[in-house]
Amino acid sequence: MDRDSSEFSARIDELIPRLRRYARALTGERTAADDLVQDTLERAWTKLHLWRDGSDLRAWLFTIMHNVHVNHVRSRGAPTVPIDDDMADAPVRPTQSDLLEVRDIEAALQRLPLEQRAVLLLVALEHMSYQQSAETLGIPIGTVMSRLARARERLRVMFAADAGASLKVIK
């Protein structure tokens, strides 16, 4: 291993716990999350020549992880709901299944569309700035802000509905 790659290796190692945290929250499943981390690391090593020294390594790795995950989800044909960013002001209402199934923050998180979940996690878990989140996900900053707002509101409504239902039961 040459000097550059051993330095790169040490810097990547420092970021692995954060990649795992993001992967766990993104996929909601431990094994899938670690597979995602592994695929991300393997891709990062093969694309090392594309990383510009001095640029944000964390953002670069998270970008790779996000892309790998999106490709996995697409190849599985999982039902992701495409987000129409022009509909940012559409009211958010919990669906019937939201009301029935949301028990905790993790379950609620998995009910968010992937695009919204990714933004919320970069901001709330990684404490990335809007600008960093936009660069990481390759989307405009305005899109980051509208997805973030919708993600938070949707989570809030799920919990508000849940709390309301509990109150009725207690009565």
Partner 1 sequence: MNKLEITEAELHAWLDGELPEEHRSAVESFIAAHPEDAARLEAYRRNDHALAGRFDSVLEEAVPARFAGRPAPRRGRFLQYAAAAGLLVVGGFAGWHLHGVYGGARPGDAPSWARRAAVAHVVYSPEVRHPVEVAADQEAHLVAWLSKRLGAPLKVPRLDGLGFGLVGGRLLPGDQGPVAQFMYQDGQGQRLTLYVRTNREQIRETAFRYAQEGNVRQFYWIDRGLGYALTGEISKEDLLKVANTVYQHLNP
* Distance from C-alpha of 25 to C-alpha of 116, rounded to nearest angstrom: 12
Binding residues among 24-43 for partner 1 as defined by CB under 8 A: 24-25, 34-35, 37-39, 41-42
CB of 88 vs partner 1, minimal distance in Å: 8
* Two tokens, residue 10: 């040490």
* Part in contact with partner 1 (CB under 8 A); list of ranges 51-59, 62-70, 78-86, 100-108: 100-108
Other CB atoms closer than 10 Å to residue 115's CB: what's the count?
Answer: 20
Nearest to 92 by CA among 77, 64, 111, 76: 111
In the chain, DSSP finds a helix count (H) and a strand count (E) of: 8, 0
DSSP class per residue in 31-42:
HHHHHHHHHHHH
- Binding of residue 109 to partner 1 (CB under 8 A): yes
Which one among 4, 45, 164, 165 touches partner 1, defined by CB under 8 A? 45
- Binding of residue 16 to partner 1 (CB under 8 A): yes
Site residues (CB under 8 A) for partner 1?
A: 1, 5, 9, 13, 16-18, 20-21, 24-25, 34-35, 37-39, 41-42, 45, 104-106, 109, 120-121, 123-125, 129-130, 142, 145-146, 148-149, 152-153, 155-156, 159-160
